[in-house]
Structure 1
Amino acid sequence: MTDRFDVVVVGAGSAGSVLADALTRGGTRTVLLLEQGPGWPDDAVRSLQRLPIGSGEPHATPVPEASGLPVVRGRGLGGSSAVNGAYFLRRHRDDFDDWPAGWDLDTVEAAYAELDGPHGRMSASPFGDDELGDTAIAFESFWRTRIPVRPPGDPWPIVGLNRVVSNRRDGLRMTSAEAFLRPAIGRPGLTVRTGVTVGEVLVVDGRVTGVRTASGDIACGEVILCAGTLGTAGILLRSGGLSVPRTLGVGEHREILVGYRRRQETSAADLPALLQSVVHTESGVEIRCYSDDFGRYIGGVSGRRPVIGVCGMRPAGTGQVFLDDTGEVRLHLDDPERVVLQTLSAIADDVRDMLASSEFAGIVESGSIMIDPTVGTSQHAWGTMPMGVATDGAGVVDGVRGLRIVDGSILPGDGRSGPHATTMMVAYRVGETLA
């Protein structure tokens, strides 16, 4: 081992960029931030009119799923925050009822506010009325008189109609790397290396000594894994000296899509952000008003149609993460439980009725509404090493000195919103305790 650092942070995505900023702010540590993917994504990648996750995209990588469902994770500086839908909703207040000690609601509120508050670093705010596409306008018109509506100034989602909070600026995703890593570049204690794959954590006698990369070993006093839920799982499963099961459980939000044909296609120049409004139901379902055909955002995907998503958030779906015979990460998602399928199917029927309503008459072609029989995935993976079970409340891995996980892997329980904002909230809070 020729290099030696106080801390190695693995992954420069939604969590790793936050940790790199916090750990180097005081100037007392040497920190190496390693990222498998490329460097800074350009404006074409960050545009809200694109989802750059198709085949061959440099800032996305596929993860094989046993039944063939498409699963893609972000890579490069900013990780998935550079390629996702820029949806930045908090979990609901009562989603934190069973979190471990140290995560009381006041603490959680303060950490979220540093990200999505009026002066938050993620430039997050609800989409404005003038930003809504015609589908979102019709969606909100339909639901507004039927269910509660979240007040404009309330940062917490409710059971009811929720305008999506989005991390964006000037039509571009505000990535974690732009918000946290770029201001830290140039600090004498921070070294950033892209294009580096970490294979495993090195452990001797129950203590971390470094990481192994394709180009050699790197010594350090502490390793913080921020490689994303699936990436971190692969590193853990390949590492010797850890008491980690050979198969890790994982959470996922399973989704049914209700498709239709548009009477008139939106011009490419006027394509709105993908997801601008959602409904959260008492039964733990999120109804997602996608603005248009996914293929128009991803590119290179044809034969699709605009859809509304019906997604089981709480209880969430389950699955397993494991290594194949070549040491690569694989994912198996379990079939949803019967009661969950019944709930999703019933709400999909409600969505079909919504699309046939007068509010959508100018958008949806008559007779074109169809419920997809495939139960898909939200590209949300979390909870392989949850706090309070496999790690403590600050991500320290049980039984190993010098190893910490700070990414979606440690989120406990189910959440009725997507995990991105909550993953960053956890990273911010842990980072501040270490700064």
Structure 2
Amino acid sequence: MKGASSRVGRGGQVYDYIIVGAGSAGCVLAHRLSEDETTRVLLIEAGPVDDAPEIRIPAAFSKLYQTKYDWSYLTECEPGLDGRRRYLPRGRMLGGCSSMNAMIYIRGNRRDYDAWAAGGADGWSWQDVLPYFLRAEDFGGAPSPWHSTGGPLTVSEGRSRHPLADAYVTAAQEAGYHYTSDFNGPEQDGVGYYHLTQRGGLRCSTADAYLRPALSRPNLEVLTGVPCTRVLLDGDRATGVEVERDGELLCLRAEREVVLSAGAYNSPQLLMLSGIGPGSELASYGITPRVDLPVGENLQDHPHVGLCYLTETESLFTAETPENVRLLETEGRGPLTSNVGEAGGFHRTREGLDAPDIQVHATPVMFHEEGISPVADHAFMFGAVVLAPTSRGKVSLRSALPSAKPRVLHNYLATEEDRATMIRALRMLLDIAAQPSLAKHRRADFRVPRSTDDAGLLDFARRELQTLYHPTSSCSIGPVVDSRLRVHGVSGLRVVDASVMPTVVRGNTNAPTIMIAEKGADMIRGL
């Protein structure tokens, strides 16, 4: 990004606000806080500028996995998965995960936010947060009372409607699930196609939507390739951050606030490296405890298990042709505009639920071995996630060295409730796969359960489960931050990202993270 680091010198600078992490939340904050030309705002990103061509090509996001644009985390050995470890890709560049995700725009269920408010998160009910979703959005679909235009973030209908995605939507209706045209509308339940954060068929990250329009402001400075090592404290006040640049440690000062927007893994790590966290654990690493808080606890994610079938129908496996590249570059259309997870739905797997308990993503291509193994054949997949998991994990330190990756234990499928939900979800998926509209596309099984009794389905889930990239709640409202996202016991320090969610929302988490940043910006400005 031109000018991203040219205006920042060698240290000693003083700013009003320092934002750590230029991801889905940090770019929003940088834009909103720098709207006041009397404030000095610094945005710090550990990763590089978002300059890889694969970032812009919607169908190519998995090519960024395990590159310099990815934190490439792994879980610890997961007890609920028979000791298996799972790969956790996270965006490490301007735009963060919004530069590397499947671009699905889902707000979550209104009951999620009302439950937050009922649990003590004052000001976070559905009616409180909806205006911030609308403020962010520039909706390109048909006019709707559920959407708005004029915001920074372009939200559109997908430009790729692959026949295999169409087949899934039809098969789900054949299995008895009704069609819905808008999962962000009056009803979340049903099957259909996802809205996407795309602009002209290309990815619209928060770096595109929020940061680039603000770069010309003289009061906004951006550092890339500069990891933050800790928050600087003077007594019980945050006064700035320490960063590493070109092998040198620099202290950067914030007169008003330090804001951590480094995500559900890195924000708690930075707090703990700064002495804010579980006191006995920090002391065991030689870190002097400053504020004893349950930082890193309550970690949540959406566990995903998918079925995969080989097919004679041409999939996205062969989409990267010169003609399709030309279509994308010149007209913003064609199969390379696919977000991969084109279709899906929200469903209730048992009676008595007041909201969906699973979400399905259908992909017209093989997504093999957590997206890091090469695709070798034409295939299609569809998988389910447990939307409201009761399992809880933890982020903790591996070392007092800031360069060490944090320990992440998600505890996937740790509770009987989560296991039962996943078993019901797999039965539902197998039923959809048997419907005529999908059965005609099935050439052979590729990844399906060996048996369909409870034990066989659970064994399959334990072998095949992966993240759906939605970690949240490790610095949640209540235990770690207050309802205005201020860290308990420390003045001048907030956390503004997905880690503050009391519980993970029912749906993809990028749009809610952007909402949190929009609302957080108003809180920081005292609005």
Q: Same fold (TM over 0.5)?
A: yes
Q: Name the CA shift for 1:346/1:135 in 2 (closer, same or farther; >3 Å).
A: same
SS at match of 1:288: strand
Among 285, 309, 318, the residue aligned to 2:383: 309
1:139 matches 2:186: no
1:280 matches 2:346: yes
1:376 matches 2:466: yes
SS at match of 2:388: strand
SS at match of 1:275: coil
Matches within 5 A, 1:24-423: 24-52=34-62, 54=64, 56-67=66-77, 68-99=85-116, 100-116=121-137, 117-127=148-158, 131-144=160-173, 146-152=176-182, 155=185, 158-214=188-244, 215-221=249-255, 222-240=257-275, 241-245=290-294, 247-266=296-315, 267-269=318-320, 270=335, 272-283=338-349, 284-294=357-367, 301-302=374-375, 306-325=380-399, 327=401, 328=404, 329-336=406-413, 337-368=415-446, 370-371=448-449, 372=460, 373-423=463-513
Distance 1:344 1:176 in 2: 33
State the match for 1:8 in structure 2: 18
Q: Name the CA shift for 1:55/1:21 in 2 (closer, same or farther; >3 Å).
A: closer
* Offset of residue 139 of structure 1: 1.3
Question: Any idea what the Cα deviations from partners look like across 1:58-113, whole Å, max 9, x if unmatched?
Answer: 22121121122011100111000001100111111111112222123233111111
> CA contact under 8 A between 1:225 and 1:404: conserved in structure 2?
yes
Distance 1:143 1:427 in 2: 35
Structure 2: segments with no counterpart, 5+ residues: 1-10, 78-84, 138-147, 276-289, 321-334, 350-356, 450-459
> CA contact under 8 A between 1:236 and 1:242: conserved in structure 2?
no
SS at match of 1:108: helix
Amino acid at match of 2:129: V
Q: Name the CA shift for 1:153/1:9 in 2 (closer, same or farther; >3 Å).
A: closer
Q: Name the CA shift for 1:162/1:367 in 2 (closer, same or farther; >3 Å).
A: closer
Distance 2:183 2:307 in 1: 31
Q: Name the CA shift for 1:367/1:213 in 2 (closer, same or farther; >3 Å).
A: closer
* Offset of residue 273 of structure 1: 2.3
Instruction: Give the aligned CA root-mean-square deviation in angstroms.
Output: 2.3
SS at match of 1:193: strand
> CA contact under 8 A between 1:54 and 1:300: conserved in structure 2?
no
Q: Which has the higher strand share?
A: 1
Distance 1:11 1:95 in 2: 26
TM-score by length of 2: 0.77
Q: Name the CA shift for 1:153/1:76 in 2 (closer, same or farther; >3 Å).
A: closer
Task: Tell me the percent identity.
Answer: 25
Aligned length: 433
SS at match of 1:394: coil
TM-score by length of 1: 0.93
> CA contact under 8 A between 2:294 and 2:480: conserved in structure 1?
no
Distance 1:368 1:245 in 2: 43
Deviates more, 1:224-233 or 1:351-360: 351-360
> CA contact under 8 A between 1:90 and 1:417: conserved in structure 2?
yes
* Offset of residue 53 of structure 1: 5.4
Structure 1: segments with no counterpart, 5+ residues: none
Amino acid at match of 1:28: T
> CA contact under 8 A between 2:271 and 2:295: conserved in structure 1?
no
SS at match of 1:60: coil
Question: Any idea what the Cα deviations from partners look like across 1:246-285, whole Å, max 9, x if unmatched?
Answer: 7533011111121211223323243532112222112401
